[in-house]
Amino acid sequence: MEFSDHIKTANVEDVVLRQPLHPPSRGTLCITGHHLLFSDREEGSSQQVLLLLRNIDAIEKSVENLLGYSGFFSNAVLSDRTSGSSGTITIKCKDLRVLQLDIPGMEQCLNIAHSIETLSCLDNVSAMYPFFYRPTDLSLRDQWGLSTPEKQYTQIKQLHKKWRLSSVNESYSVCPSYPPMVIVPNSIDDEMLKKVAKFRQAGRFPVLCYYHRKNGMVRVNQDGHSALVHGYEGTDCTLLICTLAQLIMDPSCRTLEGFLALLDREWLQAGHPFQQRCAHSAYSHARLQYESPVFLLLLDCVWQLWRQFPLALGFSEALLLRLANEVYASDYGTFLCNNDQERCALGVKDRTHCLFWALLRPSERDYYSNPLYEPTELAIWPSVHPQSLQLWRGFFLRWTQQARHLEAVQEEIRTMVIEWARATQR
């Protein structure tokens, strides 16, 4: 079925848009297969709002009287609407934004609402916008991910004595949610791994996650002991714990590129089911069995760490906010599907662009880097006392006036720090 089959009304004039931190505006509303576009028609204004339909979590419809909007709607519009009423659509987005559209004519309102409800919930991965998005400065021939088990194994030569690179999962036959290559102990052969996998949930047998270079142990730092992280499925809290542990102990994971590679390794390759967990956000009326904001919880934990150690992490809060948006609705294919096998089968790696490489472009890298970053080899153990933890206002209160003032101040401080750093380098 074509996208046009779901669009009965593609354009509506004299629509009033109400959104946070902006006065109401009147303009033209357009709906496409992937976006909702509002263009302000007020004299002297060129404002446009482009909303990815996948970002819409829920909508609500209500009826209003057109006479109450005589200041916004033209006389021609009022006379043409014999019903004497208009429809109001309240759009609740996955990024916690709430928009309101006042649409003249109930039929047009219902058509728009139906299109939004249908197009924002399409389950066909290949029909989603990342398969159509083509930025001019990226190529589909570019490398897709940042990290692989092969690259990790090659970079850590100490592993070669007690660990080996196994292709036991080359065809995803042993564990669908693991990558084709995994790092396992030298003393265990592939046949033993296959037998072990049969007694594990979804075949997720133990593999190497982190190797502490100072003492040669697989985890954690002070006692010099190895640790096994075990979860029911190993695709949620297990990944959360492993990621935070590496961020705390391994300085290479705290740079911008290192952190993105860590997410690539521990969440994408290790099989976090993004498609299931992030289908909806806070406003959805539907609650599916497998939904859970585990990745958002990780970002919140990283923000707490970033706030307690503002000089130790090479990335900014803006990166965490960007990732929080992208995981629910994105132009890129990075967070599509539930595991590496599905991404390969559906052509995600061949036909979509990788978000992580986009974030590492020079223009993006400057914005998402921490200008106060001072590398340290020390572990950064955070305080977990209740008084040490704070509400992540940048995310949960981002559409309030207070948050915007704080954002402006932070950007001004950032600019001052960057200018000061440039001056000292001359």
List, for residues 234-277, the tens digit of each pLDDT value.
Answer: 899 999 999 999 999 999 999 999 999 999 999 999 999 999 99
Return the pLDDT at 402. 78
How many of the other CB atoms lie within 10 Å of CB of 128? Answer: 22
Task: Please give the structure tokens belonging to residue 354.
Answer: 């990788």
Residues 6+ apart with CB under 8 A from 268: 145, 334, 340
Return the pLDDT at 217. 58
> What single letter denotes the amino acid at residue 2?
E
Return the pLDDT at 216. 57
Return the pLDDT at 411. 79
How many of the other CB atoms lie within 10 Å of CB of 415? Answer: 11
pTM above threshold 0.75: yes
Q: How are strands ordered across the β-sheet holding 25-31?
A: 48-52, 35-40, 25-31, 11-18, 98-104, 85-93, 56-65
Question: Is residue 267 a contact partner of residue 253, using CB atoms and an 8 Å limit?
Answer: no
Return the pLDDT at 106. 87
Return the pLDDT at 363. 85
Q: Among all chains, which residue has been given the structure tokens 């940042």? A: 146
Question: Is residue 309 a contact partner of residue 287, using CB atoms and an 8 Å limit?
Answer: no
Q: Is 38 helix (H, G, I), strand (E, B) or coil?
A: strand
Intervals of the chain under pLDDT 50? 66-73, 76, 78, 80-82
List alpha helices for 355-392, DSSP H: 355-359, 362-368
Return the pLDDT at 21. 84
